[in-house]
Amino acid sequence: MQPTGRRFDLWLMDDPSGDGIDRAVNAASEPWVHLVTRKPPRGLGYAVLEGLQSARGDILVVMDADLSHPPERIAALVEAAERPENDMVIGSRYTKGGTIAGDWSLLRHINSRGATWLARLFTWVDDPMSGFLAMRRDLLARAAGELDPIGYKIGLELIVKCRCRSVAEVPIHFSDRALGKSKMGLREQLRYIVHVRQLARWKYGELARFAEFALVGASGLLVNLATVTAVSEALKATGMTSRVALLNTSVTVAVLVSMASNFLLNRALTFGDRARGPILKQFLLFASVCLVGAVVNWFVTTRLATRWTDHTLGLQTAAVCGVLAGMAFNYVGSRLFVFRRSTRP
């Protein structure tokens, strides 16, 4: 505040830690420092959201309290946030001039870059995972009642749901925490994937659900290949020598197992928010839809292949169109007949 001549209020959101933060704040006795001992729900995202609602300024700044984010860069973020062309400003480790302290392990680099890659569904900024950001208060109104953060990546939540089209980046030096222990672990990584899925559903609607359905279908291909190989080898070990019997048995089992895998994944994930009926009845409906989808695939492929005379390229292109047509039919059939919308509120 002294070098900039600006006035700030500092809101410390405690979850509560019981680490003596209340004694430290009372000892400092600064009127601009506020400590909020929170109640459930706990979590960094909810703490930030409550802090944004508590703060009174026109420019809101979010940063970690462990000094991994440099306080001396707050002024640069605020100046950029005051420019009307910027919806949000983030303190970036990866933009030109940004640096990272310490020797990150290969796994940590992979985790960071992988999370950044997933965020490309929503933004192309260099460091969408940054928790150091500034924005004008009026932009929060764009997401009134819609913010529902999962995990620790509140910045990505704000970029998406506040509909930030222009996000500026200010280079920072990111320091490793001197005390305490990072909450980053497998659980938080899984929560981040759930968060990305939730944001995709919010932004892209039915298209995101169809993409999930397609990913489940791709996993079914892997299950099919693994099963047909395993069953074939198992039958050979029992002494079966008939090639026809080996082929028919292994392929039949592989089709049933992959179909069951697709059904269970779609029931739990793609259509997890839909009504749950008797599992056997739903599986039989799903199998029926997939059977008709296979006929649609065959029909589209054969009809297009007869029109596109190039034997190689025409046949391959027709086959791709057939697969897409069959997948689209399977999705619509599953959505309308297998996993119907729940009537419960």
Q: Per-residue pLDDT tens for 64-115?
A: 888 889 999 999 999 999 999 999 999 999 999 998 887 777 777 788 888 8
**Final residue of a structural domain among 176, 204, 232:** 204
Q: Is residue 137 part of a domain?
A: yes
Do 193 and 273 belong together in one domain?
no
If you compute the radius of gyration of the chain from its CA atoms, what whole number of angstroms results?
Answer: 27
**Final residue of a structural domain among 187, 204, 221:** 204
Q: 92 φ, ψ to 5°?
A: -110, 135
pTM for this predicted structure: 0.78
Do 167 and 52 belong together in one domain?
yes
pLDDT tens for residues 50-62?
899 889 889 999 9
CATH code assigned at 133: 3.90.550.10
Do 220 and 196 belong together in one domain?
no
**Final residue of a structural domain among 204, 223, 252:** 204
Do 311 and 238 belong together in one domain?
yes
Q: Which residues of 297-333 are buried (b: 16+ CB within 10 A; e: fewer)?
A: beebbeebbeeeeeeeeebeebbebbeebbbebbbeb
Do 57 and 199 belong together in one domain?
yes
Q: Is residue 190 part of a domain?
A: yes
Q: Which amino acid is at 228?
A: V
Whole domain around residue 30: which residue ranges?
A: 10-204
Q: Which amino acid is at 217?
A: G
Q: How many independent structural domains does the chain possess?
A: 2
Q: Check if the beta carbon of residue 275 is closer than 8 Å to that of residue 341.
A: yes
Q: Is residue 92 part of a domain?
A: yes
> Within 10 A of 226 (CB to CB), how many other CB atoms are there?
13
Residue 345 has pLDDT above 50, yes or no: no
Report whether the peptide linkage leading into residue 70 is cis, meaning its omega lies within 30 degrees of zero: no
